[in-house]
Amino acid sequence: MTSAPLIVPSVLPADLARVGAEVAELCAAGVDRVQWDVMDGVFVPNLTFGPDLIAAAREHSSVGFEAHLMVVEPERLLDRYVDAGCELLIVHAEACTHLHRTLSRIRELGVRSGVALNPHSTAATVAHVLSEVDLVLAMTVNPGFGGQSYIPAVEPKIAALRRLIDDSGFPIELEVDGGITDGTIVGAAAAGADVFISGSWLYAHAHGKPAAVDLLRMQAVKGATGKEAA
Ligand code: DX5
């Protein structure tokens, strides 16, 4: 881990009837960004957030928004999510016929670009687009739903991505998403991740969101350094 761990909640478990207040609560809890899981019912068997809902929540947030686009042909929708206030757009390598072109297009729109890999996809899939990305996302569940169990078999790939990124010399964040808890974050951090998405565990934490965020951050440092956080 080259920098302090970033803790980013997924909005999927939020009470959508009060999404603005929910986002403000997450900011008050000390999160570093907010992730919107955008699902189209085709790339994944679930349907979630359009750009208008995200735009409506934008004024309630003091932190940046990232959109995790779990959609087919994401190039059709990039402008809409930038206009909605997302500063980082993440597309799936498995959904892009022309991945290099799509990542370059995201940067042309003036925002940061990210590429996501499903659990079965290899690290080599992104080896030739590292110059076009600001973030690589290794899914630690099969995308489409919150509340699933973390897949430890992804950790060797996280380590391979860490080596690829370090060897490239580019300042690329390595994010993991799916089943992240105070337990599983240790292994993901030890493998080399430095950005951590958490949904159901963070929302369900008995002591509330601020305590959950602090605990995740402490455990990530422990995983990365092998020592308890100071
Ligand atoms: C799943 C999403 C994740 C999910 C995380 O497809 O990409 O962001 O919402 O939720 P938990 O932490 O509950 O696995």
Query: 128: buried, middle or exposed (CB in 10 Å: 19+, 13-18, 0-12)?
Result: exposed
**178 Cα: distance to centroid of ligand 1 (angstroms):** 5
- What is the rounded distance in angstroms from the CA atom of residue 210 to the CA atom of residue 182? 13
Please write the tens of the pLDDT for every residue from 117-150.
999 999 999 999 999 999 999 999 999 999 999 9
What are the counts of helices (DSSP H) followed by strands (DSSP E) for the chain?
A: 8, 8
Ligand 1 shell residues, CB under 6 Å: 10, 12, 37, 68, 141, 143-148, 177-180, 197-201
Query: Residue 150 to residues 20, 33, 154, 187: CA-CA distances in angstroms?
Result: 29, 21, 9, 10
**Atom number, ligand 1, closest to the C-alpha of residue 178:** 14
Q: According to the model, what pLDDT value does residue 200 have?
A: 98
Closest-CA residue, ligand 1 atom 8, reads 10
Q: According to the model, what pLDDT value does residue 1 have?
A: 56
Q: Which two tokens stand for residue 153?
A: 């078999």
- Ligand 1: which of 37, 43, 180, 203 to mutate, judged by most atoms within 8 Å of the beta carbon? 37
Please write the tens of the pLDDT for every residue from 184-198.
999 999 999 999 999
Q: What is the mean pLDDT of each run of 10 residues along the chain (230 residues)?
A: 86 96 98 98 98 98 98 98 98 98 98 98 98 98 98 98 98 98 98 98 98 97 82
Task: Quote the DSSP letter at residue 154.
Answer: G
Q: According to the model, what pLDDT value does residue 31 have?
A: 98
**200, amino acid identity:** S
Q: Which residues are catalytic?
A: 37, 177
Query: Residue 62 to residues 32, 193, 201: CA-CA distances in angstroms?
Result: 9, 24, 22
